[in-house]
Amino acid sequence: MFAANFDYYRPATVAEAVQLLSTKENAKILAGGHSLIPAMKYRLAQPSALIDIGRIPELSGIRVEGGKLRIGAMTTHAAIAASADVKAHCPLLAEAADKIGDQMVRNRGTIGGAIVHADPAADYPPNLLALGGSVTAVGPNGSRTIDFAGFWTDLFTTALAPNEIVTEVTVNGYGKGTGGAYADLQHPASGYIVVGASAVVTVANGVCSKVSLVIGGATPNPVRASAAEAALTGKAPTAENIAAAAALAANGISNPIGDSFASGDYRVHLAKVLAKRALTQAAARAQ
Amino acid sequence: MAKVIGQAIKRKEDPRLITGEAKFLDDIQLPNMAYVAILRSPYAHARIKSIDTSKAAALPGVIGVFTGKDFMDINPLPCAWQAGGVKNNVNTPRVLEPEKVTFTGAGVACVVAESRYIAEDALALIEVDWEPLPVVVDAKKATEPGAPQIHENAPNNIVMEWECGDAAAVEKAFAEAEIVIKQPLINQRLIPTPMETRGCAAMYLPYTDEYTVWITSQAPHVHRLLMTAFVFGIPETKMRVISPQVGGGFGAKIFMYPEYPLVAALAKKVGRPVKWQETRSENYRATTHGRDHITELEVAAKKDGTVTALRVHTYANLGGVLSTVAPGIPTTLYGRLLSGAYHIPHIYCKVWGVYTNTGMVDAYRGAGRPEATYVVERAMDLVARETGLDPAEVRRRNFIRPEEFPYAPADNILAGLKYDSGNYEPALNRALELAGYDEFRKQQAEARKQGRLLGVGLSSYIEICGIAPSAWIGLPNQGWGAGLWESANVRVHLTGKVVVTTGSQNHGQGHETTIAQVVAEELGVSVDDVIVQHSDTLGTPFGYGTYGSRSAAVGTVAVYNSLQRIKEKARKLAAHLLEAAEEDIVYEDGKLFVKGSPDKAKTIQEIAAAAAIGYSLPKGMEPFLDDTAYYDPPNCTFPFGTHVCMVEVDPETGAVQILKYVAVDDVGNVINPMIVDGQIHGGIVQGVGQALTEGAIYDENGQLLTGTMTEYAIPKASLMPKIIQDRTVTPTPVNPLGIKGAGEAGTIAATPAVVNAVVDALSHLGVKHIDMPLTPQRVWAAMQRN
C-alpha cells in the first residue's frame, strides 16, 4: 500500500494536459483516482508522472443539447446520479451511476475515468452502449468522437490513443414511450457487477418498436444481445415474448469470464435471467 | 442506590474513539524512528537458494537489509498448545525464514529505512533465487500417499491425530440405529479481518539492555513472556510490552508472530526505534486464518427424532507452520463441544491436524466452537429432514433437561468438566415466538405454490466461555500445560478514586466500562470515579489477556474477588474509627456505619483517606486499600440460546436475502446489556458472513485468490435486516457474579442458522446440504442438481 515515486502535474487547461501527456515519459492521467491509486498502491501501476486533470473547469458539468446529454469527463458519479437533467432525459444513466461503488466512491469517481479504465465489471459501459452515444477525445491533433460501439476494445483497453484525453461523454436521451432498466448481480466484496443487463425499450402501438439490450460483466467488454433485440422487436412486450427474447441474451457471449465466485456458465445463465428482468422493467416503464 | 450492574450505561472508552483521539499502533511516533518493510515469499513451497541484498542496501535512505541468516541466534516461535498427539513434529516460523518457505507470505528478508516508501522501494531490489517445490493446499489430500511432504519430521503432513469419546460404544449405537445419516461438511477457511491490521514498534536501550515494544496485542503479558523467555532467551523483566488502542482482533492478535521479535531485534541492531505496520495484503497472507475443516459427519437416530450417537471425522488444516495455539483449536475447543445442547448418548470424534502450503490457522472468534456447533446444528436439521419432524421439535426432544445440570456430556468428551447450568427450551420458545415461526411456515407453504423460496433455520447452540480453568485447559497432553487464570489489582486512592489494573486487554469489549460498573456496584462509588488500566506490562499484574469470552467470566471475577477483600479491610478500619465491633458494621451505598446508626457513617472515601494517610490504623493493619487477586475458576461457563433466521432465495439467480433474524441468548447475568447486545450483534453479522459471503481460497499453487478486500467478502451492513434480540437469564454457579460471557456467542450461533434456513428453503427440491459460503452460484447449482 505504498506507491512508488512519481512526478505530479496539475494542468489548468486540456491543451496543457495533452501537451504533458505527449511529452512526459510513462505518464498517466489522474481523474477521480479510484482505480488508478489502488493499482499504484499495490505497485501494479508505477507511472513516472501523474497528470491531475481535476482542476480543469471545462471538464465538469452536464448539459442537454438536442435531446442528448453532454457530460464533462470529470463529472462525478454522484453528480450524474443527482442531476435533474439526467433524471429527466436519461433516468437509466442516473440509476446506473447511483449503483456504482459506495457514496464515497461516487463522490470522487468520474465518468471519464470509469469508461477509460474499461473494467469488464464496471456499471457504465453496458448502460452507455445500450443508450447509445459517443466519447469525445482530445489529442495533439485536435478532437474526435468515438462511438460507444467502438470505444471498448479489450480487457482494460479502449480505442484511445496513448496521448488522447477524454473530455466529454455524449449520451442519447429518451422520452415518453421509451423505458430503460438495469438489472445486475453484484460481487459481495467489490460491489462490481458479476453480470449486468441494460435494456432500453420503445413501445409504440402495443409493440416494441425498438429494443436495445447489452450485457456487461460476462466478457472483457459489454456485448450487445442482438439476437434477443431482434426477437423482441415488433412484438408485444408480454411476459412470454420477453422470456423468449431473454433466452437469446447470451448468444453473443463466447468464452465468458469465470472466476472462483462465478463460473462462465453461471454468468451466461445470469445474462439471460437479468436480461429478462431488465427488459420487463424497461418495457413497463415505456408504457 | 440503584444497581449499577445491569445498567446500559454509555461506554467510557467511546469519547476518545469517536473523536479520533485514541492512539493506535501506527500513531506511535518516536524520535529518530526508522521503518520496516518485509519481503514475503511469492511461492507457497520453495527453498531459498540464495538472497542478494546488495542493490537494496545501496539505495539511499536504506539503513539495513537483513535475511533469516542474520537472526539464527533467535529461536523459532513457540507452539504453546501442543494438544494430544502432537509429538516431535512441531514446525513454527522463525523471524525470517532462512532456508525454506511453506506458504505464500512468509517473511524472508526485511529492510529498515528512513521511510516506509524507501523501504518498499528497496524490497523490489532484493534478489531471491528460489527453488520452487510441489504444493498441496487441501488438508485431506495432504495426508494421502504421494502428496508433497512439507516437513521432514511430519510424515504424511500430519501434525497430530486426536480423538475423544468412545469409538466402540458409537459403533454399537450405529449398528442398532433406526436411522443413519452421513453428510460431508466443509467449514471453510476464513480471514479474520479486524479493522486495524497488526503492527509492532520497538525501541532498545543499550545501557540497561531493555526493550520497550508496542504490539497490536490481545494479550500483552503473553506476548512479553513468549518473546523473552522462549524466543530471545532473556528474562521477561528486560522487556516492557504495551498494547495501544487496538482496532479489533477476533483472536488473530493473541498470537506470537515473527514480526514482533524481528522488530525488537531490529531496534537493537540499527540502534534506533523502528516500526512496522502490516498492510492489508500482508494481513491476508501472514496473519492467522480461522476454521478450515473437512468433516465427515455421521448421525445415528431413532425414528422419533432422538439422536443416539454422533461420529465425527475431521481434517483440520493448520497451514504451513504452526501458530501459537493452533493444535488446541480443532481438538479441545472443537471435539469437546460436540454434544451441543443435546443429550447424545454416545459420541466419538477423531481429528487429523494437517500441514499444508497455506497460511497459518489458529483461533478466530469462537475458535473450534463455531465449527462444532455447525456440525451439531446441521445434524439436528438432517435428523428433522430424515424423520419428517419439525426442526424445532427435534431440538426439543434432544435437549438436555434443566434437571440434568450440572451435565456431563457422553463418553467423557468434555474431559472431566460439566455444563454449569442451562434451561434450553424457554430460549427456543421465545425465539420462535419473536420470529413468528408458525405463521412463517404457513407463508412458506403459500409462497412455494407461487414459485417463491422461503426458508427458516434454527440454531440452538451452546458454547464454552471463560476459557481458563487449570483443571481443564492445563490438562497434561491435552491442554496447553498451564492454567489461564486472570489477575486484577484494585487500589482506592486517598481521594477515594479507584484504579483497577487488569491482565485482560480491551480491544472493543468495553472493559473500562463494565469493570467500572462492578466496582461501582460493590464499593458504592460513582462509575466516573473508577479508572480501569490495562494493556501495559508495566503497571498491570500478569494476566493471560482477552479471548475465549473470558474477560467478564474470569478477569472481572478477579476484580470482584479483590473488591471483597478491599471491603473487608474497609469494614475493619470503619469499626476501628467508629469504635465498634467489625461484625456490627454495615456497608451500604458507599457508607459504613454501625448497625442501627446510619447517621454516623464513614464514607468509603473517608475510609480510603484514613487508610492512605495511615496515621491511626488498627494495630497490625497495613496502610492503603490495595488488593491483588489471581483467579483460577473451577469450571468454564456454558452460555446458550436459539437463533432463528428467515431467508428468501431467488429461484433464478440463487441469491439469498435475509428477511428476519432473531437471537435469544442466555449469557447468565449481564453487566451492561448494551455492550452484551452489541457483542452478540457484531458476532451474528460475522457468523452470517461465514454462511453467505466469506471464504479464503487458495489455488493449487498455493496462491491466495482472495488476497484483497475486493475479492474476500466480509459482510456489509446491507446484508442484514434489523436483528431482533432478547435474552433469558440463567446465572452460572461457577462464579459469584453469575456471568457466563458473550463475546463469541453470535458468531457461533449465526452460521448454522443461516445455512439451515437456505437448505430449508430448497428442501422440497431435494436439497439436503450446501457447503459454505452460500454464494448465488452455489445455491443455484444446488437447485440444478436436484
Cα gap B215→B203, rounded to integer Å: 12
| Nearest Cα residue in chain A from B118 | A4
Interface A-B: count of C-beta contacts within 8 A: 61
Cα gap B339→B738, rounded to integer Å: 23
Task: Give A273→chain B minimum CA distance, Å.
Answer: 7
Inter-chain residue contact B714 with A189, CB threshold 8 Å: yes
Chain B contact for A103 (CB, 8 A cutoff): no
Of the candidates B65, B277, B283, B116, which has an alpha carbon nearest to the alpha carbon of residue B192? B283
Which residue of A1, A4, A190 is in closest CB contact with B121? A4
In our burial notation (b when 16+ CB lie closer than 10 A, e otherwise), range A8-37 reads: ebebeebeebbebbeebeebbbbbbbbbbe
In this structure, whether the domain defined by B290-469+635-785 belongs to CATH 3.30.230.10 is answered with no
Chain B contact for A264 (CB, 8 A cutoff): no
Q: What is the DSSP letter of A177?
A: T
CA-to-CA separations, A66 to A69, A89, B121, B159, B558, in angstroms, rounded? 8, 11, 53, 73, 77
Chain B contact for A266 (CB, 8 A cutoff): yes
Inter-chain residue contact B653 with A273, CB threshold 8 Å: yes
Q: What does the pLDDT read at residue B482?
A: 84
Of the candidates A287, A262, A66, which has an alpha carbon nearest to the alpha carbon of residue A181? A287
* Secondary structure (DSSP) of B554-608: IIHHHHHHHHHHHHHHHHHHHHHHTTS-GGGEEEETTEEEETT-GGGPEEHHHHH
Inter-chain residue contact B711 with A273, CB threshold 8 Å: no
CA-to-CA separations, A104 to A95, A98, A112, in angstroms, rounded? 17, 12, 17
Inter-chain residue contact B116 with A2, CB threshold 8 Å: yes
Residues 156-215 on A with a CB inside 8 Å of B are: 185, 187-190, 192, 194
Q: Which of B40, B189, B191, B652 best tests the A interface by mutation, with the highest count of A CBs <10 A?
A: B652
Inter-chain residue contact A261 with B775, CB threshold 8 Å: yes
Which residue of A189, A194, A259 is in closest CB contact with B712? A189
| Nearest Cα residue in chain B from A6 | B117
Q: What is the pLDDT of residues A73-88, one digit of tens each?
A: 999 999 999 999 999 9
Inter-chain residue contact A266 with B780, CB threshold 8 Å: yes
Which residue of B653, B710, B777 is in closest CB contact with A189? B710
Task: Give B752→chain A minimum CA distance, Å.
Answer: 20
Q: How would you write A99-115 as a 3-class SS string?
A: HCCCHHHHHHCEHHHHH
Chain B contact for A249 (CB, 8 A cutoff): no
Query: What's the half-sphere exposure (Cβ side, CA atoms, 13 Å) at B337?
Result: 30
Chain B contact for A14 (CB, 8 A cutoff): no
Chain A contact for B477 (CB, 8 A cutoff): no
Inter-chain residue contact A189 with B652, CB threshold 8 Å: no
Q: What does the pLDDT read at residue A260?
A: 93
Task: Give A190→chain B minimum CA distance, Å.
Answer: 4
Of the candidates B696, B688, B749, which has an alpha carbon nearest to the alpha carbon of residue B716? B688
Nine-digit cell string for A16: 496543457
CATH code of the region B486-631: 3.30.365.10
In B, which residues are within 8 Å of A273 by CB distance? 652-653
Cα gap B81→B752, rounded to integer Å: 28
State the span(s) of chain B assigned CATH 3.30.365.10.
290-469+635-785, 486-631
Cα gap B338→B312, rounded to integer Å: 9
Q: What is the pLDDT of residues A150-191, one digit of tens each?
A: 999 999 999 999 999 999 999 999 999 999 999 999 999 999
pLDDT greater than 90 at residue A65: yes
Chain B contact for A102 (CB, 8 A cutoff): no
Distant-in-sequence, close-in-space partners of B442: CB < 8 Å, separation ≥ 6: none
Q: What is the DSSP letter of A4?
A: P
Give, in degrees to the nearest 5, the angle at Cα B290 between B289 and B292. Answer: 110
Q: What does the pLDDT read at residue B86?
A: 82
Domains (range + CATH), chain A? 7-52 (3.30.43.10), 57-172 (3.30.465.10), 179-286 (3.30.390.50)
Which residue of B124, B713, B780 is in closest CB contact with A188? B713
Q: Give the DSSP H/E element, type plus range, for residue B395.
A: helix B391-398
Residue with cell 501472514: B286
Q: Give the DSSP H/E element, type plus range, for residue B646.
A: strand B640-649
Task: Give A27→chain B minimum CA distance, Å.
Answer: 19
Q: What is the pTM of this model?
A: 0.97
Residues 756-775 on B with a CB inside 8 Å of A are: 775
Residue with cell 474470569: B554
Cα gap A59→B483, rounded to integer Å: 67
Chain B contact for A263 (CB, 8 A cutoff): yes
Cα gap A60→A75, rounded to integer Å: 5
| Nearest Cα residue in chain A from B714 | A189
Main-chain dihedrals φ then ψ at residue A62, nearest 5 degrees: -130, 125
Q: What does the pLDDT read at residue B2?
A: 62
B253, B509 in Cβ contact below 8 A? no
CA-to-CA separations, A195 to A232, A239, B346, in angstroms, rounded? 21, 22, 49
Chain A contact for B280 (CB, 8 A cutoff): yes
Q: What does the pLDDT read at residue B267?
A: 98
Residues of chain B with pLDDT below 70 are 1-2
Task: Give B714→chain A minimum CA distance, Å.
Answer: 7
| Nearest Cα residue in chain B from A2 | B117
CATH code of the region B17-133+195-248+253-286: 3.90.1170.50
Which residue of B279, B705, B716 is in closest CB contact with A260? B705
Q: What is the pLDDT of residues B288-319, one digit of tens each?
A: 999 999 999 999 999 999 999 999 999 999 99
Task: Give A258→chain B minimum CA distance, Å.
Answer: 12
Q: What is the pLDDT of residues A115-138, one digit of tens each?
A: 999 999 999 999 999 999 999 999
- Radius of gyration of chain B from its Cα atoms, rounded to whole angstroms: 27
- Radius of gyration of chain A from its Cα atoms, rounded to whole angstroms: 19
Inter-chain residue contact A188 with B780, CB threshold 8 Å: no
